[in-house]
Amino acid sequence: MSEFVSVTEAALLARDQPTQPWQQAFVLLLAGGLSRAELIARIGERIGYAPRFRRRVEGWPIAAWVDDPTFSVAGHVRQQRLPADQTLEQWLADLLTDPLDDEHPLWQAVLLDEVAPGQQALVFRCHPALVDGYDHVHLLQELLDERPTAQIGPESSWEPQPAPGLGAALAGLRDPLQAAQGVAGGLFGLVENAVRTVTLAGRSAQLAVAEVELAALKVVRNGFACTVHDVVLALVTAGLRGQARRLGRTLTDPVALVPLAVSEPAVLESAIGCRIAPSWLSLPVSEASAVERLSAIATLTRVRADSGHSVRVPELVELAGFAPPTLHAVTAGSVGAGRAHQVLVADVPGPQRARYLGTALVEEVFGCTSLTDAEELSVAVTSYRGRVSLAAMSTRALDGWADDLAAELSTLLKEAR
């Protein structure tokens, strides 16, 4: 069934330009092996639960999500080996400079072999506008199970539906940014604040991933009477501080967009049972003391916690399926709020019990979101099986990212005890 693109979705689609692709990737590190044919079959079996992954956007300025009449799961899935001269992070950073094909649904899955001995990665990238957290979830949320499942059911039956009548005059329009500029202020115009800072000039970015033990974060939480989220933000702040010092930059406190899950009666029936609301705070990069940095962050975040609207972490962890990809996509979409910021931090809790893709064990996970507007750093935080990944994309070098986070956590652990 076709549906019109909402104003919010159109604003997000407008951020994705050939010179500056805006997309999100989620990575599953697998043990046990998975073939391309098995992945195609699994997606074919489950894609009916995420129907937007069969739809493309058609017609501007009155745009709709329309079933792709030529859709084929196989056309969106490929398999390759990790080049010997690249790390997974380098390969993924390069991949995110490649625009998704807007002639088809805006997603791609890559099975990447030999990322480590006996280990394979599934790299799944998509445009965040595909997912709204209400009626539309991320396809990955539907693919994983709590136990190995070798038997693959038949592909869900599906016949593409015709597009709604949009008028012949719109048939050739496929550029949401051009549409936004052409119809601003009209009934189908985009929200001005949501598109006013869209970047057209391309910028290179680096990717770095650090992993820490969830138990260690909880020790710091208990020692300082704060939250794990506060500790995560303190680690990100330390990473920014270390990066600035290595580059000889002045230590200033950047504005960070830190989306939060909030509970509202009107949205409890959504797929994720909450709304992801934008929230901003100033990260205390200029503060010299690790303890004082954490204290400053805890003071800022306590205001929201005291409001009583925040969703408790266990409620997000227990969402049906594998919810982190959906939560990360919805969180990425919060940039549409339009307020200027330099840093995006998306902190998403995940299940602590193992998940499987077919018979392959998901050993580790991490997500990442490419940069948009004036963002200098985006950090996707994901917990899974007692580990927490902090994947950073930056316009500047990230050579010491993992070391900075490890040093900050070590200092806070000593002070907490």
Rounded CA separation 163/10 (Å): 17
Share of residues in the chain with pLDDT > 70 (%)? 80
| Statement: residue 399 has pLDDT above 60 | yes
Q: What pLDDT, in 10s, does the model give residues 84-134?
A: 999 999 999 999 999 999 999 999 999 999 898 889 999 999 999 999 888
Which has the higher per-residue pLDDT, 311 or 346?
A: 346
> And the tokens for 275?
């709304």
Q: Does 185 have pLDDT greater than 70?
A: no
Global pTM value = 0.88
Report residue 50's pLDDT band, with 50, 70 and 90 as the boundaries.
very high
DSSP assignment of 298-356 equals HHHHHHHHHTT-BPPHHHHHTSSS--HHHHHHHHHGGGGG----SEEEEEE---SS--E
What phi and psi, each to the nearest 5 degrees, are found at residue 408? -65, -45
CA atoms within 13 A on the CB side of 28: 28
Does residue 267 surpass a pLDDT of 60? no
Query: 29 pLDDT band (50/70/90 cuts)?
Result: very high
Q: Per-domain residue ranges for the chain? A: 3-195, 206-416
Q: In this model, does residue 186 exceed pLDDT 70?
A: no
CA 58 centroid distance within chain: 24
Q: Do domains 3-195 and 206-416 have the same CATH topology?
A: yes
* 1 or 301, higher pLDDT: 301
Tell me the residue type at 173. Answer: L
pLDDT digits (tens, 9 = 90+) for 132-181: 888 889 999 999 999 998 766 666 678 888 776 654 334 444 555 555 44
**Across 22-26, 143-147, 315-319, least confident range:** 315-319
Classify 46 as helix, strand or coil. helix
Cα–chain center distance at 342:
17
The architecture in CATH of the region 206-416 reads 2-Layer Sandwich (3.30)
| Residue 184 pLDDT class (50, 70, 90 cuts) | very low
CATH architecture under which domain 3-195 falls = 2-Layer Sandwich (3.30)
Q: What is the pLDDT of residues 216-225, one digit of tens each?
A: 999 999 999 9
| Averaged pLDDT for residues 48-54 | 94
Residue 405: closest CA among 305, 316, 293? 293
pLDDT recorded at residue 33 = 84
Q: Per-residue confidence at 190, pLDDT binned at 50, 70, 90?
A: very low
Q: What is the mean pLDDT of residues 196-209?
A: 68
Q: Which helix or strand (DSSP H or E) is residue 224 part of?
A: helix 214-224
